[in-house]
Amino acid sequence: MATKPNVLVTRRWPKAVEARLEQNFNADFNLADRPLNHADFRDALTKYDAILPTVTDKLDAEALDVSKPRTELLANYGVGFGHIDLDVARQRGITVTNTPDVLSDCTADIAMTLMLMVARRAGEGERELRAGQWTGWRPTHLIGTKVSGATLGIIGFGRIGQAMARRAHHGFGMKIVVQNRSKVAPEVLAAYGATQVDTVEDLLPQCDFVSLHCPGGGANRHLINGPRLDMMKPGAFLINTARGEVVDEHALIQALSFDTIGGAGLDVFDGEPKIAPDLLQCDNLVMLPHLGSATRETREAMGFRVLDNLEAYFNDGNPIDKVQ
């Protein structure tokens, strides 16, 4: 890079990553650490060579409505990019990158955490203890569901889905059933003792647990809806660490409230950080505040992957993780 490009960092990042950004770029940081609005982004598109957004930034057609943007690159901090309107970005001549690979293990760890917590009623137990309501051990207290040896359905069998399968199959002896939009190589399935089915409808009735690892965006909005929740076993559990919009939360609330499924674990929500009030009333639900990648190692690795894409783009125009 002959000159340092001007870049906007839309949220605060780990200090080690921000230090390298300041060293290598003319970087402006959102010190308030609150999501930017459409007007903020339209203004930024006229001032910066690159913008570094996160999942909290809604870069839709309205936010990208600048006829001749200065911005050449949206270097996304995260693997998912459903919050970016790729068609409009393409029309504006803006390249988009993401950060694959680096967060698969930690997101799968959180999915396993949610699965174990909801199956063994850990959230209910902790709430009881903290409220001073525990009266001691008894044979019928907070009876949960065994995870080891159960059948796990995984919807979306990319890097994170496979990381989940590895933990579940090799760690807990679970039988793995997979639904993916494309055919999974036989050797990949064999590594996890997995079988692939054609449709979500084929998968749901077979499984004691269903874990979502598919992309977000319009194509998968409410992929899990009322009719599909009705296909799950009465005692089955739904786990979502993908994107909030993948689940119809109204339908999920109904299923949880009337015990038509065993429970659910959510790390993501439709319209987050706002949470549907009725979700808060469901005891058979474990909720986490979007912690999938929230380890120091992973959040730093995500930031450095963004920097790798930035440097590659402004050096030779070929970022390593080009989405489009």
CB 65 within 8 Å of CB 42: yes
Separation of alpha carbons 255 and 263, rounded Å: 8
Tokens of 183: 């055919």
137-to-118, 131, 134, 155 alpha-carbon distances in Å: 20, 16, 8, 38
Q: Is 170 a residue of the active site?
A: no
Residue 193 region by backbone torsions, left for phi larger than 0, else alpha for psi between -120 and 50, else beta? left
Annotated active-site residue in 243, 245, 299, 305: 243
Q: Which of 62, 72, 128, 272 is catalytic?
A: 272
End-to-end CA distance of the chain: 22
Both tokens of residue 316? 């030779």
Is residue 290 annotated as part of the catalytic site, yes or no? yes
CA atoms within 13 A on the CB side of 25: 28
Catalytic site residue 201?
Answer: no
Q: Which of 250, 290, 300, 311 is catalytic?
A: 290
Contact yes or no for 247/240 (Cβ under 8 A) = yes
Distance, CA of 53 to CA of 39 (rounded, Å)? 15
Strands of the chain, DSSP E: 6-9, 26-29, 50-52, 73-75, 95-97, 151-155, 175-179, 194-197, 209-212, 237-240, 263-266, 285-287
Tell me the catalytic residues. Answer: 243, 272, 290
